[in-house]
Structure 1
Amino acid sequence: MIHEILPHKLSNEFRVQDPKPTDFLIRYNGSKTLLKKNDEGYVIPQVGELLAVEGKTLADFEGHYLFSIDDTAFFLDDSLAGKTDSAASAAPEGFEFMGNRTFRGMNPVERMGGATAAHIAHWESLNKFCGKCGNVTIRGDHERSIICPKCGNIVYPRISPVVIVAVRNGDKLLMAHNIDNPNPRLFLISGFVEIGESLEQAVHREVMEEAGLRVKNIRYFGSQPWPFSDSLIAGFTAELDGDDTIHMQKEELSEALWVKREDIPEYETDVSISCCLIENFRRGFTINP
């Protein structure tokens, strides 16, 4: 899955440090990240090469440290602060602002690091002003936080809980396609946890809302960070309880159907827990392999 990057190691404790030319630089314009084009697609630019293409040196660097993977740090560029939307979206030659799902096609370190950095960048972009009094905020100097110097309000990174569930009906798996997912493949029922409900209650509710089905024997499978929606996803397996007639929620899904084990194609498990759950069923396992 996306967070499994061994033998590499993520060090995400808060600290302040200066950049090296070979460190990665995330430039986020509020919705997209600046990436460098190459023959194979896109890569995250290094601090030194982005500064050089703009005629700058490390002495001109505007940004702050986010975290490191092994000995390479990820920094968030602060040079767009105060610029107009058009200026913030201007990309140097050879670079392009791309949606954050582009990270999914990168190597494990850039995929995990880029997506996580974009998660932090998105959180910071949403909290430039205090939600309590409207004053301009500042970054915390001893922990990852955003602070209002006027009223003292403190905001921490937003991580929203999500559940995803592989519902089994004998040798069939409940598979679905969300209307907002650009990937045409079938995946699983999932959704955000509502205020006041447990993860297991969210599983019951989401399956009923999206497919009109009841489930039983809910079992925890595993979890993963999912920076693309500022989420932490908890994966479960469950069994059909009663009638197997699907009543699809057309506002959310374009497809929902029972698929026999032998008809499920192989799914790559290096990115998402959804694919891991599907492969777990396809291979005939009953627990996390």
Structure 2
Amino acid sequence: MIQDILPRHLDNQFRWLTPQKSDIILLFEGSSVLAKWQDEKIYYPDYEEFCTQTDAAKYTFIYVLSVDEIQYFLAMRKGEVLEGSFQGELSDAKVHEEYQSELDGYDFLGVNIFRSAVPKYRAFAAITAYHLYGWYRDNRFCGRCGKPMVHDKKERMVRCMCCNNMVFPKICPAVIIGVTDGDRILLTKYAGRTYKNYALVAGFTEIGETLEQTVEREVMEEVGLHVKNIRYYKSQPWALSGSLLAGFFCELDGDDTISLQEDELSVGKWAHADDLELEDDGISLTREMILKFKEEHAKR
């Protein structure tokens, strides 16, 4: 999965640091990242390169994480994200219209590139930073009293100096569900999304629910089935949705007739293990779970 980057190690411990020449700078606009694709690999500018070719005074640099000895910083535009008037979320088209890259060889690439970018540690570092970028962007003002928030310098938190409201990074619990019936597994496709590959039933946990209750509810809501024998598999941080995914397998309990929630799903079907032709993308919990089922149930 995308977080499996051994022998490299991602360190997300909070530190209040100033970028040095060789540190990596991650600049996000909307759902795009400043990067270049060269020799089948993804690259981001270092601090020296960024400062040489842009007006660095326009940015605030926030340390977010390290991979081994490589330090990564967010570049947040002053007056637009942290201090000034709210501009709203920018579409990819709007990003390319308003924020053309000032750095030679770099362009704003959609963050979905992290699904296939290599080396994987660079993809995981940047997608994790993207999660924090969204949190910093969305918490410039206090939700309690409306005053500006300030960065705490001891931990990953923003604080209101007026009412002492403290806001920590937002992580949404969600489940990925492998519904099985003997040598069959339930596959789905999302409705109205850019991701067109087969997936599994999935959804966010509601207030007051256990993860197991989320499994039961989501399966009933999306495909109209009852399940039993719910078993935890693995978890995965998934920054594109700001979530922590928990994977579960469960078994069909009763009638196998699918009743599709069409505003969520365009396809819901049973597939035999022998008919699964997916390859491991090395990225997603969903793909790993489907292939795990195939490995254990295919007859050929």
TM over 0.5: yes
Task: Provide the aligned length of Structure 1 versus Structure 2.
Answer: 283
2:191, 2:131 → 1: CA distance? 23
Contact 2:276 2:294 in 1 (8 A): yes
2:176, 2:59 → 1: CA distance? 41
Counterpart check, 1:196 vs 2:208:
yes
Question: Which of 168, 173, 176 pairs up with 1:164?
Answer: 176
1:210, 1:101 → 2: CA distance? 25
1:149, 1:29 → 2: CA distance? 28
Counterpart check, 1:108 vs 2:120:
yes
TM superposition shift of 1:89:
2.7
- 1:34 corresponds in structure 2 to 34
Distance 1:123 1:285, change over 3 A: farther
Question: Which of 69, 91, 100 pairs up with 2:101?
Answer: 91
TM superposition shift of 1:15:
1.1
Trace 1:73-84 onto structure 2 (pairs within 5 A). Answer: 73-78=71-76, 80-83=77-80
For structure 1, the residue ranges without an aligned partner over 5 or more in a row are: none
**What SS class does the counterpart of residue 8 from structure 1 fall into?**
coil
- 2:62 corresponds in structure 1 to 64
Identity %: 38
Deviations 1:82-108 (A, max 9, x none): 148689733224322233222222221
For structure 2, the residue ranges without an aligned partner over 5 or more in a row are: 88-94
Trace 1:189-268 onto structure 2 (pairs within 5 A). Answer: 189-268=201-280
2:58, 2:199 → 1: CA distance? 46
Q: What amino acid does structure 1 have at the position aligned with 2:276?
A: I
Trace 1:40-51 onto structure 2 (pairs within 5 A). Answer: 40=40, 42-51=42-51
- TM-score, reference length from structure 2: 0.88
Q: What amino acid does structure 1 have at the position aligned with 2:65?
A: F
- 2:296 corresponds in structure 1 to 284
Distance 1:61 1:179, change over 3 A: closer
1:168, 1:238 → 2: CA distance? 6
- 2:53 corresponds in structure 1 to 53
Distance 1:193 1:208, change over 3 A: same
Deviations 1:145-176 (A, max 9, x none): 01111111110000000001111111111000
- TM-score, reference length from structure 1: 0.91
Q: What amino acid does structure 2 have at the position aligned with 1:277?
A: M
TM superposition shift of 1:28:
2.1
Deviates more, 1:246-255 or 1:82-91: 82-91
**What SS class does the counterpart of residue 110 from structure 1 fall into?**
helix
Deviations 1:46-84 (A, max 9, x none): 22222222276xx99741211101000110113x12148
Contact 2:59 2:78 in 1 (8 A): no
Contact 1:174 1:259 in 2 (8 A): yes
Contact 2:190 2:196 in 1 (8 A): no
TM superposition shift of 1:26:
1.1
Q: What amino acid does structure 1 have at the position aligned with 2:168?
A: Y
1:204, 1:131 → 2: CA distance? 33
- 2:13 corresponds in structure 1 to 13
Counterpart check, 1:183 vs 2:183:
no
- 2:90 corresponds in structure 1 to none
Deviations 1:193-224 (A, max 9, x none): 01111100000000111101110000000101
- 2:4 corresponds in structure 1 to 4
2:110, 2:281 → 1: CA distance? 22
Backbone CA RMSD of aligned residues: 2.2
TM superposition shift of 1:254:
0.7
TM superposition shift of 1:38:
3.1
